[in-house]
Amino acid sequence: MKLLIPALVFSACLPAAFSQEQIIPKPAEITLLKGTPARLTPASAIVSTTHDKPFLNRARQLQQMLSKGTGLPLPLKTPQEAPKNGTCIIIKKDPSLASRGEEAYSIQSSPEGIILSAAHAKGIFYAGQSLIQMMPVIFHDKKADKSSVKWNISGTPFKMVDYPRFSWRALMVDEGRHFFGEKVIKQIIDQMALLKMNTLHWHLTDDAGWRIEIKKYPRLTSIGSKRRETEIGTWNSGKSDGKPHEGFYTQKQIRDIVQYAAQRNITIVPEIEMPGHASAASVAYPFLSLKSPAEVPTTFIVNTAFDPTSEKTYAFLSDVLDEVVALFPGKIIHIGGDEVRYDKQWKGVPEIEKFMKKNNMKSYADVQMYFTNRMSGIVAKKGRRMMGWNEIYGHDVNGDGGGKAGAKLDTNAVIHFWKGDTNLGKNAIRDGHEIVNSLHSSTYLDYSYGSIPLQKAYGFEPIFPGLEEQYHSKVKGLGAQLWTEWIATPERLHYQAFPRACAFAEVGWTPAGRKDFPDFKKRLKEYGERMDLMGIHYAKDIVDQIDKSDFFNTPRLGGWTPDSVADKKLSLDASKLIKSPGRYTITLLYEKGANAVEIESVALYEGNREIARDTHPGKSGTQKENIRYILNVPAVKDGATYTVKAKLSGSGGDDSYGTVYGELP
């Protein structure tokens, strides 16, 4: 029997919304048609029109996923075996989609059939993820009786062509600080796959723990993976949970997780921190550092550095990376490279000072550049490419007394931009480097929802402002970082990551011109139901509501009292906040009192001159409406005084107290 692939007619497009299309990230192109939607039934099958092995593997995977979710058999058939009755899912290899990249795909859906096309098998996987999100939410309910479910694909027939904006769409999970284990990391991988994120940046070593088995150096895990207790609250809190913490991944577990991720189009990039954040390693092997601590740190402020002057250090790290590259087949090895506390670790140390003098180095940043370029060469000899946080570029962005390196970074190194003036990122690109943009003030998922609310996450733009168009391709994409100093449970891990990871997934995939935050929030409502069924403890309360706990680490400008409410105005010094041009967010957050405040406007003054204003009605009480005000600051003068002034009034009375927060650009 010859399989008749339906010839879909796309002339009768629908003006109405795609009623059941709730895909995150939003597809690049969709054409909607009139008519009834495709529906999978017990008579349906999956049919591959190609014998290409990777495509057949993806077809089998799709069959397993869809059958598990729908309860339908959906057998895998050849065109000759395809059933005469029943809507089939047809898999095609389409070389014309190659121009959109290896992750591109198309879907054509009508009552006669659903055609999934791609130039590369990766595209078929993503087409399947889109199909899943177009099905009823009950797909994700493992316990439900699905025998009477109508498995419609979307609300109407359609044609979709979809492809990513960026090639690097990453989520970073830090297990150096807190270890979560195989089940949790696979659950995160499943969410990444559904959201079409393709890179898991796995932070496996840090001061507070070493989480990867290295057979040549067993003390890294027998000693370095354990600490006797853990600081809680915040930095320098003086409080501890009083409980031992430990854990690491065996090489067998890592191979399994790497394979699990690869089956879901996800490359795992391991991060082995160096030269800083090396306490756990140096406790296990004290020769690695010139200032090794006595035990694996129980706080998150200790930061030990490897000894960059010793050949034993480079031999050790080369040995470690031999085992790392054998476990992770991806092209990139991340070495960290951030936060070397020069003033505490290297300044005044005889071995360092002698090394600098011998090599005519003028700054401690030169010492790190020497180390970094040595490691870049070592990584390259192992057939991989080095990546690191933007300190590897040779600038002391943390103010630790390192100075600026005179030598240049190996151009083969990928720079992971997280901190400092964005001009550093642009200059690095012009110097020949590729960049992944993870600006901390926009992408750090351990930051509160007050510091990085959902809308700010969604609005992140990876292309640096002012970067010449010919360099745009050098920005490979973005990463969202989930640091875990203060995240000790899977529930909190989920809460901090989701739904902001959904927003970053759309930033990385969807064309900038098709992004729409109100539309995203509508789609997020249904996606939240899917996360509920998948056991993701996402931040339901954060999507529409804000409270004080969200403003951890957010600058506080001051607050209002009944007296200022009675005066109908509020004036707060913002000179410490306003240090550079940019888009500042001022939030007026009610705390207590019988009355809410109604806000008319918020303005910024430079001396006596108004330089920015946001006028819109807001209300801050037990219910909060539009309480964030955006101040676009065009320029900043050294030594100038800056004042935030708000016009407000009490709602039914003046008994109101609140705090005003200022968020940096």
Q: Which residues are catalytic?
A: 206, 277, 339
The string over 526-544, giving b where at least 16 C-beta atoms fall within 10 Å of a residue's C-beta and e elsewhere, is bbbebbebeebbbbeebee
Measure the CA–CA gap between 233 and 235, rounded to whole angstroms: 7
Task: Please state the length of the chain.
Answer: 665
Percent helix, strand and coil across the chain, each to the nearest 5: 30, 25, 45
CA max distance for the chain:
84
Paired tokens of 160: 């979709």
CA torsion through residues 266, 272, 277, 279, sign: positive
Q: 120 by DSSP, 3-state: which? A: coil
Distance CA 290, CA 421 (A): 32
The label of the residue with tokens 């003054």 reads 605
Rounded-to-integer distance, Cα 360 and Cα 497, Å: 46
**What separation in angstroms does the CA of 462 have from each of 221, 438, 440, 458, 547?**
37, 8, 12, 11, 28
C-alpha distances (whole Å) from 390 to each of 85, 339, 435, 596 are: 58, 10, 9, 44
C-alpha span between 426 and 395 (Å, rounded): 14
Q: How far is it, in rounded angstroms, from Cα 538 to Cα 552?
A: 18
- Letter string b/e over residues 577-589, b meaning 16 or more CB atoms within 10 A of that residue's CB: bbeeebebbbbbb
